[in-house]
Amino acid sequence: MTIQKVGVVGAGQMGNGIAHVFALAGYDVLMTDVSQEALDKAVKLIEGNLARQASRGKIDEDEVAAAMGRISCTLSLADLGQTDLVIEAATERESIKQAIFEDLQPHLKPDTILTSNTSSISITRLASRTDRPEKFMGFHFMNPVPVMQLVELIRGIATDEPTYKALHEVVEKLGKTAASAEDFPAFIVNRILMPMINEAVYTLYEGVGSVKSIDESLKLGANHPMGPLELADFIGLDTCLAIMNVLHDGLADTKYRPCPLLTKYVEAGWLGRKTQRGFYDYRGETPVPTR
């Protein structure tokens, strides 16, 4: 299986990072989104992030230009039919992801590999609704993609060995490290990380600590580089809530109950950094706790 052309669906936080690392590693990238604004924003962000890497001496100017030259955008999902590998990185909602794969299917080459960057949704279930469950995998990048070393590889029940090997090779070509996880709710990283974040929100909800004291406690007391609420804002509170719901529904254990305060922030549209407000308000020069 030769992979050269890569399609990225969803040009949000993850989609732009994924496009960035693939283009830098020499792949041709075709990115799509339902919003032209999201595509324009993603291209600008990638350019800025590549320039920052160049200013730090991590890559040279020629690599920036070459990487940008390998990225193109389209509003038409059908255009991704010509790619060898599709990475779906749209909003964490199963109905959205399912519709994307359904709409894409008639346009695909027979051996195109399909993947989802989902943080929690069943790979086996997403795969079962396509015409190629054996060529379908979970391909879970971490945020921010250009910085984080790990990629979780999740086989669905039907995934075949050549598909797994092809993606393992891609991870190596990107200079990252693969970890295999079984297809159970939220896989490895988020199965452990998200209940911790949810517990931090409960700690806030029950008045045990303020946003500032909770984040400082985990940074200074557990040596975490970011506090859990700061991290939740970085991930996106809608994504955090969606993952907790998948854990709660999928494992049917009350220990995964999403905190009502997390739900409240999402209801308010305070989704974290991406909407400029979450557990912190980012509209000024320095982030200000909102509780």
Name which of 27 and 141 has its Cβ closer to ligand NAD: 141
| Least distance from ligand NAD to the Cβ atom of residue 208, Å | 25
Inter-residue contact 191 to 158 (CB < 8 Å): no
Using rule CB under 6 A, residue 228 touches ligand NAD: no
| Least distance from ligand NAD to the Cβ atom of residue 13, Å | 4
User: Which member of 22, 200, 239, 241 binds ligand NAD (CB under 6 A)?
Assistant: 239
**Listed residue (155, 40, 20, 177) closest to 89, CA to CA:** 20
User: Which member of 72, 74, 82, 91 binds ligand NAD (CB under 6 A)?
Assistant: 91
Contact code string over 126-155 relative to ligand NAD, x by CB under 6 A: --------------xxxx------------
15 among annotated binding-site residues? yes
Inter-residue contact 65 to 39 (CB < 8 Å): no
Residue nearest to ligand NAD (CB): 12
Using rule CB under 6 A, residue 12 touches ligand NAD: yes
The DSSP H or E segment spanning 263 is helix 260-267
Residues 97-116 that bind ligand NAD (CB under 6 A): 100
Query: What is the C-alpha to C-alpha distance for residues 248 and 263, in angstroms, rounded to an integer?
Result: 14
The DSSP H or E segment spanning 21 is helix 13-24
Q: Look up 134 and say whether it is catalytic.
A: no
Residues 28-57 that bind ligand NAD (CB under 6 A): 32-35, 38
Using rule CB under 6 A, residue 235 touches ligand NAD: yes
The DSSP H or E segment spanning 74 is strand 71-74
Strand 136-141 and strand 150-155: the pairing is: antiparallel
User: Which member of 8, 9, 259, 266 binds ligand NAD (CB under 6 A)?
Assistant: 9
| Least distance from ligand NAD to the Cβ atom of residue 148, Å | 9
Set 88, 140, 198, 230: catalytic member: 140
| Residue 39, Cβ density class (10 Å: 0-12 exposed, 13-18 middle, ≥19 buried) | buried
Residue 134 gets which letter from DSSP? G
97 among annotated binding-site residues? yes
Q: Look up 119 and say whether it is catalytic.
A: yes
Q: Which residues contact 81 (CB under 8 A, 6 or more apart)?
A: 104, 107, 108, 109, 112
| Least distance from ligand NAD to the Cβ atom of residue 72, Å | 15
| Least distance from ligand NAD to the Cβ atom of residue 62, Å | 29
173 among annotated binding-site residues? no
Set 119, 120, 122, 198: catalytic member: 119
Using rule CB under 6 A, residue 86 touches ligand NAD: no
Amino acid symbol at 12: G
**Listed residue (21, 56, 238, 240) closest to 148, CA to CA:** 21
**Listed residue (176, 233, 169) closest to 200, CA to CA:** 233
The phi and psi torsions of 147 (rounded to 5 degrees) equal -100, -40
Query: What is the C-alpha to C-alpha distance for residues 252 and 119, in angstroms, rounded to an integer?
Result: 18
Residues binding ligand NAD (CB under 6 A): 9-15, 32-35, 38, 89-92, 96, 100, 117-119, 140-143, 235-236, 239, 274
User: What residues are annotated to the active site?
Assistant: 119, 140, 152, 190
